[in-house]
Amino acid sequence: MNAPETTQRPARLSDEVADALEAWLRAEGFAPGTQLPTEKVLCERFGVSRAVIREAVARLKADGCVRTRQGSGAFVAARPGEGVFRLPLPDVLPQDAADVFELRYVVETGAAALAAERRDAADLARIGAALARMRAALAEAADAVVDDDAFHVAIAEATHNRALARFQQFVGQQFSGSRAPTWSAAGHRAGRARDAQREHERIFAAIAAGDAPGARRAAAAHLVGAARRLGLDPARWRALAEEETES
């Protein structure tokens, strides 16, 4: 068990340079159109080869904050990350997965509270329909991953906030693959589907009642349960759950 001190961050040299470049641009606050140093200069400044610099610049190009013209140079196109947000994709690193899940936690609890305040009849109908489908699937031990997904999306849409809805959909989708074990045959046997459904019902009840703090607490409880079902470290979530439930 050699946990080699989790040098968690960029093992890739090009990523390191790209981060540094992005941070530099951000700090300097260059106006769009200003020219970047030449690749040769950047090579010397960072002490790396041109290939690394090119890959780093390529990432900034992909992010849309830098634009290059052959023979001319590289230019700032916009402030770094102006309109795009890139998530550290959770592969095998449990740390990244936990981080992203925590982000989902923050957003989804807030969304549940907002949904309780803003939901209208159509929202409640959509949420209730997804809930009913899951209830039916629970009775016959069937799969309901798509309905589970629809349930959370419907809640996000009940906030009537496009940005929030899209972002919750975005983070939630990062774990859509991990939602299968709950509704699998083994999940039904182990009671995971039943537990999740009970949490779902509580969220819906609070939203339907217009109880924003209650919806927040119910969503928090659901996410803590989801984290446990995902095998994430529960210790990290205890504090959060207590924070929510004590209010």
Partner DNA sequence: AGCATCAATTTGTCTGACAACTTGATCGCT
Partner DNA sequence: AGCGATCAAGTTGTCAGACAAATTGATGCT
- 243: partner contacted, choices a copy of itself, DNA, none (Cβ within 5-8 A by kind): a copy of itself
> Binding segment for a copy of itself among 84-92, 127-135, 186-194, 198-206 (CB under 8 A)?
84-92
Among residues 16, 102, 195, 201, the one that binds a copy of itself under rule CB under 8 A: 102
Greatest CA span in the chain, whole angstroms? 67
One of 5, 91, 120, 140 touching a copy of itself (CB under 8 A): 91
Residue 79 site contact among a copy of itself, DNA, none (CB < 5 to 8 Å, cut-off depends on kind): a copy of itself
- Nearest-angstrom CA–CA distance, 112 and 157: 10
Which is nearer to DNA, 73 or 234 (by Cβ)? 73
Q: Rounded CA gap, 195 and 26, in Å? A: 45
Residue in the structure block whose two tokens are 């329909």 = 129
Distance of CA 55 to the CA centre of its chain: 26
Among 109, 155, 179, 206, binds a copy of itself (CB under 8 A): 109
Distance of CA 150 to the CA centre of its chain: 17
Query: Which range, of 40-48, 80-88, 122-130, 136-144, touches a copy of itself by CB under 8 A?
Result: 80-88
Which stretch, 103-111, 119-127, 192-200, 223-231, contacts a copy of itself (CB under 8 A)?
103-111
Angle of helix 235-246 relative to helix 94-118, nearest 10 degrees? 20
Tell me the residue length of the chain: 247
Which is nearer to DNA, 36 or 220 (by Cβ)? 36
DSSP state of 31: P
